[in-house]
Amino acid sequence: MLNRRSTFLLIGFLGFFSLNLNAQSAKQKALEAKRLKYQNELKQLNSLLFSGRKREKSTLSAVEDLNYKVNVRKNLIKVTNDQANLLTREINANQNEISSLRDQLEELKETYANMVVKSYKSKSEQSKVMFLLSSENFKQAYKRLQYIQQYADYQKEQGELIKTKTKKLQVLNKDLLRQKSDKEQLIVENRAAKKELEKELKEQEKLMASIRKNMSSYTSKIRQTQREIDKLDKEINRLIKEAIAASNKKAGKSSLSKGFALTAEEKLLGKSFVSNKGKLPWPVERGVVKVKYGKQPSPIDRTITINSSGVRIATEKNAKVRAVYEGEVLAVMGKKYSNPTVLIQHGNYITAYKNLSKVYVKKGDNIETKQTIGEVFTDTNGNSILFFSLHKEDRTQNPAYWIYKM
């Protein structure tokens, strides 16, 4: 027969198992969030880059777009595999626990049945009274009374434990059916994703084969584009340094100072900007990051390094560009270096919105968060790319750390 200590151990084990299930569930939730993120990214990619794709789209752009899509698809397949594998482990643990619970439940029921039979045989009040009256002294009678009460309590506890375990078993069985269904669904989705990946890889190889025939020409285009970007970045850096020098001159400080001489209000704005790190809105309503921040190999020619001072966001044709935070327009750069660029100052931080077709603001304007400041330029190939960068003083920052879920 199970003693009281065993009962407590069983209850504790149930509690521990419940915590373990919650931990597994947390892992599943994290993986599910990633899977949904990649699925949503693929939908956006199909909508922004592959929906009704124009014939005149350049081979270079087509390869870049497809490379991006393939990488997202691979990430989706990997995270779906991780989910399925975790579900397999959870299902096995669940099945083992169900088997263990059934064995424990049988033992509890058998013990409880024996107690019920024993109680029935001695249930009359007369037998209890005789049991007490046959005591040799008051102390023994008191102990026998305690025993009768403890036995009744223990019998009740065993009954409650049977109910608890039975309920737990029902929950586990239901959860097991859900887990098996979820796993089957993930397997079906992954098969479909792998078929799509196979098609995309074939198309990717076909495009790359055509590029390899004239690689030198494409390499030249990539280098020329990087030179133009570097030239624009250099001009932006010059404007920021000029603004820093002007702020220090106005405050009566050395013009050689590397940081802005901020007013009290500008300091508060800078602190407020920093407090929203990771929560700033996207500069366009719909978009995907086509090129990330920092140095990276070209997807066309891996021997060429692309140096991205910000991010390149693919978006809709004529998409509205909006400020990611309140501030003041520091400069509006015209077409001398490229398509128009708007710089907005937020205390000692600057955000730059490049490759615009239209600009709705001018230097000195006070800007609100999400205020429309212009439209993205769409080229003859149908590409609408916003170049977005973020600076602290004259040093670039990774926008992915600042923009919500970038």
Tell me the per-residue pLDDT of 62-82, one tens digit each, with 9 for 90 and over. Answer: 888 888 899 999 999 999 999
Regarding whether 259 and 198 lie in a shared domain, the answer is no
Q: How does pLDDT run across 100-126, given as a tens digit for each residue?
A: 877 877 776 777 677 666 655 555 555
What pLDDT, on a 0 to 100 scale, did the predictor assign at position 91? 84
Query: Per-residue pLDDT averaged across 217-226, rounded?
Result: 90
pLDDT, tens digit, for every residue of 12-65?
A: 555 555 555 555 678 889 999 999 999 999 998 888 888 755 445 678 888 888
Question: Are residue 104 and residue 79 in the same domain, yes or no?
Answer: yes
* Whole-number Å distance between alpha carbons of 229 and 12: 64
Same domain, 207 and 232: no
The burial class, CB within 10 Å (0-12 / 13-18 / 19+), for 134 is exposed
- Residue 96 has, within 13 A of its CA and on its CB side, a CA count of 7
Q: Do 386 and 340 share a structural domain? A: yes
Position 58 scores a pLDDT of 77
Of 25-29, 250-254, 395-399, highest mean pLDDT: 395-399
Is the pLDDT higher at 151 or at 391? 391
Boundary (domain end) residue, out of 212, 243, 263: 212
Q: What total of structural domains would you count in the chain? A: 2
Is the same domain home to 228 and 202? Answer: no
CA atoms of 40 and 403, how far apart (whole Å) = 17
Residues 102 and 250 in one domain: no
Q: Does the residue 112 lie in any domain?
A: yes
303 vs 402, higher pLDDT: 402
CA distance 384 to 311: 13
Instruction: Choose the final residue of a domain: 212, 241, 258.
Output: 212
Is residue 145 located within the same domain as residue 270?
Answer: no
Residues 287 and 395 in one domain: yes
Task: Examine residue 151 and state whether it is found in any structural domain, yes or no.
Answer: yes
11 and 83 belong to one structural domain: yes
**Structural domain ending residue among the three candidates 161, 188, 212:** 212
Residue 282 in domain: yes
Q: Which domain holds residue 82?
A: 4-212
